[in-house]
Structure 1
Amino acid sequence: VIFSAFVIVYILLLDKKTPRRLGNESALAFDNGINPGLGFRPQYYMDRSLIQWRTSRKTGHQSFIQMVDNVHQWVLGYGLKDQYHQQMIDCAGLPRDVLINYFRQGLSCIFFFTDVKPGPNPCSKPKNYGYNKGRPCVVIKLNRVFGWVPEPYQSKDEVPLEIRDLWQPVMKDYVLIKCFGQYPTDQDLIHQIDHISILGNKAIGGIPLYYYPFLNQPGYRQPYIWAQFIKVESNVLLNIICRAYARNIRQSTSIEDMTGAVHFELWFQ
């Protein structure tokens, strides 16, 4: 009885909004602090990283429609109607101190699926998200970490070699995301990947800094980018790695290390 009473008191004292341990004390922290990871969609089976479908099959097992529906159900959470019922504001151009004050009040930056690419978008339901044409669109999202604020690169010299030639001064206001073939054989079979994001640069995606920090706001929506695989070989298992880039996202030189990254496979026929 005494133990149960202690448990009840402990639960009542817990802050429902703010984690008890933050920053380097968080369970998510590495030796050098918090390091957010990435996620992807579609993920038809949540315990698997394989995206597999047949472009010719509209129904049944491995139908491309299964992939389309899986992506679309996730994207629907970013619809206009859904977000109008939440406490959303347009954050573009607002100073960070103003943003943090809004976030503490429970407000979130608005993020429509149309924000990723205004106008015609190849990654859309009418286009079957490219799956019927063998040009799959994959959502790449930065995982939520309470209180984490990205530190963008301020000069080209700071940028990792693998994306240094792509860096431009406008990218000081973004967390950068880029997808690659994971191994040399994959890179030979993946001829073109378009990154579709608010940044507007097909060679690399970007998420604006004004979406951070996440403070557990009720209506918060994770910003995301699209990676569309324009020219890839069919009937071959392709290993993909997508990485997030900022000064405070630790990068590993090992292709097996998923720190600040996500891995998945593509296979279609």
Structure 2
Amino acid sequence: MADKKADQYYAPPPKLGKWEGFVTFLWNGETSQFLGRTAGSWAKILLFYTLFYLALAGFFTIMLVVFYQTLDDRMPKWQLTSSLIGDNPGLGFRPMPSDSNVESTLIWYKASDKENYKSWTQKLDDFLEVYKSTSMQAGQGNKIHCDYDRFPGEGETCAVDPTKWSPCIPSNDYKYPDSAPCIFLKLNKIYGWKPQYYNDTNNLPSKMPAELKQHIQLETNRNPKFINTVWVSCEGENPADIENIGPIQYFPKRGFPGYFFPFKNDEGYLSPLVAVFFERPKPGVLINIECKAWANNIKHDRTERRGSVHFELMVD
């Protein structure tokens, strides 16, 4: 009789069907368990994870605050040779092809088709909008008129006068309908970078285009202070391109005036621009163009596009 009771005591629980087992898992009335845990067990585990994630969030917040204490909103921690971008600025050009073709550097349009060239002039309008804003003109905020006799002081920035880009202005669609397009060049901003100018006009780089050397000598003879300029040249890359590119003009100057440097990320700073006016590029021909910035501390590397920019121009 005792053995029979012992067998009954150690007998396994009755087998339940799938549905009955699921219902019992949700709520077991005999043990007062919900999803396999009692109320006390659920309270303990919820308290543990609440405290754990609060501590984790607090630790992350403290680390983030400490990290931001090491940053400056205006000044990068790593500058020039210590930074990833280095101390050799490159050139950029506008307008650029659409974002759907990011690898392309081809400016190709049909001068007789307004809808065709309008997409390019609209990109220039968008890019130059900030330059045309009245809040960016001299006398507004920290904007001043700069020249080679007046460099900006602490916290001041130089105004850029869009009227000096003429004929590369919106009112004539930047000369695109005349098969004589304007391309704008900008020197990429590097915090704290200062150009080293060519102070000796008789000892200019051998690879500098001869006509740029002549231009520098004429300009500096007219005003010696003009030597404080980062000069710009644009040429066809190959003999055929040189033949097809036609005459070129630069506005407002053939370079970036030295009073725009160094870049200190002051409020309202605008990069100086050079409008390159291609007067008569040969129509229907793809022209490879390379533009370079010239200063003693700008090195050129065509493969890495250091100190230069490449694009193609084709006008139908």
Q: By the TM > 0.5 criterion, same fold?
A: yes
1:139 paired residue number? 184
Which whole-Å deviations, capped at 9, do the CAs of 1:18-66 have from their partners, x for residues lacking one? 110112211112xxxx11111111114242311111112122xxx1111
2:98 paired residue number? 45
Q: Percent identity?
A: 29
Which of 78, 84, 101 does residue 131 from structure 2 map onto? 78
Cα shift at 1:130: 1.1
Q: Distance in 1 between matches of 2:119 and 2:65?
A: 44
TM (norm. structure 2) is 0.72
2:227 paired residue number? 172
Cα shift at 1:158: 3.3
Q: Distance in 2 between matches of 1:93 and 1:139?
A: 22
Q: Does 1:194 align with 2:265?
A: no
Change (3 A) 1:69 1:113: same
1:238 paired residue number? 287
Q: Distance in 2 between matches of 1:27 and 1:9?
A: 23
Q: Does 1:213 align with 2:262?
A: yes
- SS of the residue 2:279 aligns to: strand
Cα shift at 1:147: 0.5
Contact 2:91 2:185 survives alignment (8 Å): yes
- SS of the residue 1:167 aligns to: helix
- SS of the residue 1:195 aligns to: strand
Change (3 A) 1:86 1:241: farther
Bigger strand fraction:
1
1:20 paired residue number? 77
Structure 1: which amino acid aligns with 2:112?
Answer: S
TM (norm. structure 1) is 0.84
Map 1:220-259 → 2, pairs under 5 A: 220-252=269-301, 255-259=302-306
Which whole-Å deviations, capped at 9, do the CAs of 1:154-179 have from their partners, x for residues lacking one? 11243223333432124412110111
RMSD: 1.9
Q: How many residues align?
A: 244
Contact 2:216 2:227 survives alignment (8 Å): no
Which whole-Å deviations, capped at 9, do the CAs of 1:214-256 have from their partners, x for residues lacking one? 100120000011111111112221111110001111134xx44
Map 1:84-103 → 2, pairs under 5 A: 84=137, 85-94=140-149, 99=152, 102-103=153-154
Q: Distance in 2 between matches of 1:89 and 1:95?
A: 9
Bigger helix fraction:
2
Q: Distance in 1 between matches of 2:149 and 2:263?
A: 16
Cα shift at 1:196: 1.7
Structure 2: which amino acid aligns with 1:236?
Answer: V
Specify every segment of 5 or more residues in structure 2 that has no aligned partner in the other structure, as ranges: 1-55
Select the structure with the greater relative contact order (CA < 8 A; seq sep ≥ 6). 1
Contact 2:291 2:309 survives alignment (8 Å): yes
Q: Distance in 1 between matches of 2:198 and 2:145?
A: 24
Structure 2: which amino acid aligns with 1:21?
Answer: W
Q: Does 1:11 align with 2:68?
A: yes
